[in-house]
Structure formats: C-alpha cells, structure tokens
Structure 1
Amino acid sequence: METVRPKGERGSVYYFFVNRTSGKGRSVEVWNEIEKILKEKNVQYQAVTTDTKEEALEILKELLCTKQAIQAIVALGGDGTIHSIMNELIGSSVPFSVIPTGSGNDYARARGISKDYRKEIEKLLLNEQKKIDLLEVGNRHCMTVVGIGFDGKVADEANKMKWKRWLGGTAYFFTILKVLLTYKPSEIKLKLNDEERLFKKVWLIAIANHAYYGGGIKICPIAKSNDGKLDICVIHSLPKWRLLFILARVFSGKHVSMKGVEYHQVEKIEVESDEPLFVTADGEMMGQTPTTVSIKKEAFHVMN
C-alpha cells in the first residue's frame, strides 16, 4: 500500500490517514478491512499511508493548501497521531474523526469511539458534525489531558520505552512504578483563573478536556469537551506510600474524594514550580514549567 499525495481538484472525499507503525501494525490490518466496507458502500475516499507523523503532516499541509472538497480527515492511529493532525487542522472547518489503533487511545475512549471499525464507519458516514473545546498550551493545542510533574515524567519515560507499542497501557503501569522510586514532589504556585494558590509537595497536576490519559487512567472523571472548562486534578501533601493508594484508584476515577486530592474547574491555569517540571499533552512532550493552559471553546470540528 503506497502513500498517495493529493493532486488537483476532485469531489468531496474522506481522507484516511493510516499510520503503518501504530498499534503494532494494526492500523494497516484495520484499514484493509475498512477499505472493503467503503468500496461496498461506494464511498469516495483516499488513503494516505505513512510511517511517521512528520510525513503525515507534510501531506496534510499539501492537502489543505489545495481547493479540494474534503468530507473529513480520519486518522487510524493512536493519540500521538491524533495530536499532530489536530494541531494542523486548527483554524479550518474540515471535520476530524479517528479509528483507534494505537496503544493508548484515550481520545477515542473518552468520546465513546470503539474498536468496532464497521460500527464506527457507519457512524462516520452519517456526517453528523459537532464542535468541541480544546486545551491551549502556548502555541499548541491538546485534545485530552495536560500532565505536569509526576505524570509528565511518566509520559516522558514511557515514550522512551522500547516496548511501549507492544505493551500498550501496561507500559504506563510499569513506568509509574519505575518513576515512583526516585521522584520527589515539588512546590507549585498555581493561578486558577484569578486566584493564586501555593501547594507544597505536589506530585502531579492534570489539566483535562477529556477524562482519560495514560492508556485508560481516569484522572479527571467528569471532564467534558463541551462545557467550556478545564478540569484540574492536583495530588499533593502526601507521603509516597499514600500516593500508591491514590494511584490504585485513579484508573477507575474514584480518587477525587481522597485526602490529598483537589479538584477544580476553571477556564485558565498558570503553573510555576520551584524547579522545571515536564509538561506533556496527549502524551506528547510540550516542554517544561512555567506554563499556561487555557480553554479554547468550540474550537474544533469533529464527526463523533
């Protein structure tokens, strides 16, 4: 299956971006089945198959510069692929959708998009569009969760893990245990809207637009992408052994009422720390603190 670059004008087309390396090669297997469905239904489509996010972005930029009628951009891949394509689509009215084939699939999980690709294609062809909020971090945007501190370090270590794409969400579990051995909490100054707060011994700050990150961790269980709010989870002032109890419940979202956990909903947050901390978004590295995150309401067109 070869990459086809966009050329000239044509009718309204669904463009499927297929990441060959995502999900242990599952993207290609799923695409082969999806293509059969599209042919059965006489749907106009174009496959764009790539090995890297960089290659996909180059082709997407070319496509958006043409005057072609695009029905939707559909990504077969994981959260990293989604993050890159979404940032390229910002400012356009082209709707976006995803068929989850990655290791984490947190965006798909939060939006109720299943791995039943036949069912999801049926939904996609209904052409029902809606707008969702995005998180704005500097000049970048994020669909799911910004992680700062312990979770930022975990994401950084997990991304370096040689076997991440084979272990899926389990990679985050093993990385959590590894990072926990040496990680030290920090002193953090937060500005929540206009209110300044000082937190000591902060383990992590999660800033969410959707509930999940890290391959199914329900860090901000009531986060919604259409309420115009950031959901903030701060875990602080705990010894390491108590943090373990919280982490044991965070996968189910039952940690928010526990001692040492604060939960807020705001439109903007500024984060300063006594030493630079990793900042991740959609599992991708975004830099270090200090940082500012704000909500960008109804900023993105989606098909699900």
Structure 2
Amino acid sequence: MSAPTGRRPIRNVVVLTNPVAGGGHAERASTRAAARLRGRGVEVHSIEGTDPEDALRLAREVVARGVDALVVVGGDGMINLALQALAGTDVPLGLIPAGTGNDHAREYGLPLGDPEAAADVVAEGHVTSVDLGRIAAADGTSRYFGSVLAVGFDSLVSDRANRLTWPRGRMRYNLAILVELANLRPLPFRLVLDDGTVIERDLTLAAVGNTRSYGGGMAICPGADHADGQLDVTLVHAMRRRKLVRFFPTVFKGTHVQHEEVETHRTTTLRIESPGITAYADGEFVALLPVDVSIVPHALGMLVPA
C-alpha cells in the first residue's frame, strides 16, 4: 500500500543522489536542495552508494527504518532504482530533477532547473497516489517502472549506445540512432493483451506507458494517465527509413497517434515477445524479451505541487 494521499508533515528525509547525473549537475543540485530543506526545518540525511546495487541496498534500508520521504536527486534512471525500494510502502518519493530526460518530473509538474523550488515541493508534503508498471522477465526477476517501457528500435538504439565508447554524452546516443537507422529492419512481434487479444505483426517499436513521455519529452503514449489503473500501449508499424525520419518529430507533440501506421491499446496486463530484442524502462535496461507487464494501482506515493 502506498503513502496516503493528502498533505503530511515532512520532518526528516533521506536524499539519494546520483552524482554523475546531468553531467555532474546532480551533486550541486543536491547540495542546494538539502540546504533549502534544512532552512525549512527538515532533517536531511544524504546517501549515494558506490554503485547502483549499493545505492538500492541503502535505499531499502532507510525505507525499512522509516522516514518521511526518500528524495531522489538525478534523472529517470535513479528514480527507477528508488522505485524498487519504495513500491508498496507508505514512504513517498520526492524528486529534485537533475537528469537528462527528467520525464517523471515533467509528468508530475515538478520545477526543472530549480533545486530550491523542487525542495519546497518536498517540504510542503502534498502526496498523491500513483500507479507503477511491473515487468516480469523470463529469468524470474521483476522490476517496477514509473514512466515508459520501450522495445524495438528504441531499445536497439540504447543497446548500441551502451556498446559505444566514443563519443561521450548525448552525441553517443545520436550516433547510435544513425547506425540503427542504417540497419533498420521490420521486427516481428507478438503481444497478448488482458482480454486475450493477440497481435502479431512487424513493428518498428512498441511502447508501454504508465505516463506519457520518455526520452526528454517525447509523448509516445500521449493519452496515458498515471492513476487510471491501466497501461497505454503504442505500436508503430514497420515503415521505410525515410518515412520513419519524418515520423519521429511528431512524437514530441503526441500527434503520431493520428498516423495510419500507429495503433494504440489500453490494458492491465501485456505479454511482449520478439526474438533477440531487449526491454528498457525509465531509460534503463531491464531484460531480454519475452516479458510480462502489468499495472500495479496505487503502488507509490509521490510528492507533488499542491
């Protein structure tokens, strides 16, 4: 059960920071946010972890001990890590956006580029109950996600970017896009929805959204609602390279769903299969397909603007 909806007193928080997020910006943002919280009478304890596994261990420990909020300073990947510790507990999540995409922050109307304003949201203590997605992999592991699960072209780009050692930063991702465009091919998918509907077709990509956007504001699932108890599914049919290049800019506005090559569905559960394709959620690698995805209603309390 997630944290109760409504206003609650925030007297002590643990701040979990990814120091390398946003090109090192997160560490500065953490210092500023912590100072603001202390100025408002909130007791602040900071943790980082030596690696993601250590950070998750620390997060689970502080949640188990009890704290008024776990505050994440970083991007969507760090938020995804925190979700594994917070899902189903009564400890709410606070966000100090300091990543590259910041899609969770966009979804919940949190201030970008202003750590003090984001800290004020935490201190005010307004909690709303939100859904999470849950991914069950073939190896028996499972993982929660808060925004979008992506498979197909997007996950191939992420795979490619993770293998590249040059260039650094965003340019590495851009290079991966160019390489995967050159290698573009139809991908055979099989999907099964909660009502038994089976979809078998060649796709460019499939996206499963608890929220609307990924990749820094690309509204891939423009109709998604983070508290409706459903997952939004966007399927982009296989298309030629030139058409795909023209198609992608429409995703930022969410108008891509008007194209005849796009179909959308809503479901509470979903099985996705495609040979050799990986799944990424909240921008992080999750598993090799197949995976089973489900919605977990009211799994998380989120600190949001009043």
1:202 and 1:279 map into 2 onto residues whose CA distance is 14
The CA RMSD measured in Å over matched residues stands at: 2.1
Name the counterpart of 2:241.
Answer: 240
Q: CA 1:49–1:37 in 2, change beyond 3 Å: closer, same or farther? A: same
Q: Tell me, yes or no, if the aligned pair for 1:145 and 1:206 is still in contact at 8 Å.
A: yes
CA deviations 1:164-184 (Å, max 9, x no partner) are: 8743xx654443222111132
Shift of 1:161: 4.7
2:107 and 2:175 map into 1 onto residues whose CA distance is 23
CA deviations 1:73-105 (Å, max 9, x no partner) are: 000011111101111222321111111111221
The AA in structure 1 aligned to 2:105 is A
Name the counterpart of 1:7.
Answer: none
Name the counterpart of 1:150.
Answer: 153
2:37 and 2:213 map into 1 onto residues whose CA distance is 31
2:168 and 2:33 map into 1 onto residues whose CA distance is 22
Aligned counterparts, 1:121-270, within 5 A: 121-138=119-136, 139-162=142-165, 166-167=169-170, 172-270=173-271
2:168 and 2:85 map into 1 onto residues whose CA distance is 24
Name the counterpart of 2:3.
Answer: none
SS at match of 2:190: strand
2:153 and 2:192 map into 1 onto residues whose CA distance is 20
Q: Which structure has the higher relative contact order (CA within 8 Å, separation 6+)?
A: 2
Name the counterpart of 1:110.
Answer: 107
Shift of 1:157: 2.6
1:225 and 1:13 map into 2 onto residues whose CA distance is 27
Identity over aligned residues, as a percent?
30
The AA in structure 1 aligned to 2:147 is T
Q: Tell me, yes or no, if the aligned pair for 1:24 and 1:165 is still in contact at 8 Å.
A: no
Aligned counterparts, 1:80-91, within 5 A: 80-91=77-88
Unaligned runs of 5+ in 2: 1-9, 137-141
The question of 1:47 aligning with 2:50 is answered no
Shift of 1:12: 4.6
Q: CA 1:163–1:210 in 2, change beyond 3 Å: closer, same or farther? A: farther
Q: Tell me, yes or no, if the aligned pair for 1:19 and 1:52 is still in contact at 8 Å.
A: no
Q: Tell me, yes or no, if the aligned pair for 2:233 and 2:265 is still in contact at 8 Å.
A: yes
The question of 1:92 aligning with 2:93 is answered no
SS at match of 2:188: strand
1:293 and 1:127 map into 2 onto residues whose CA distance is 31
The question of 1:58 aligning with 2:57 is answered yes
The normalised TM-score by structure 1 is 0.88
Q: Tell me, yes or no, if the aligned pair for 1:217 and 1:250 is still in contact at 8 Å.
A: yes
Q: CA 1:163–1:99 in 2, change beyond 3 Å: closer, same or farther? A: farther
Shift of 1:54: 2.3
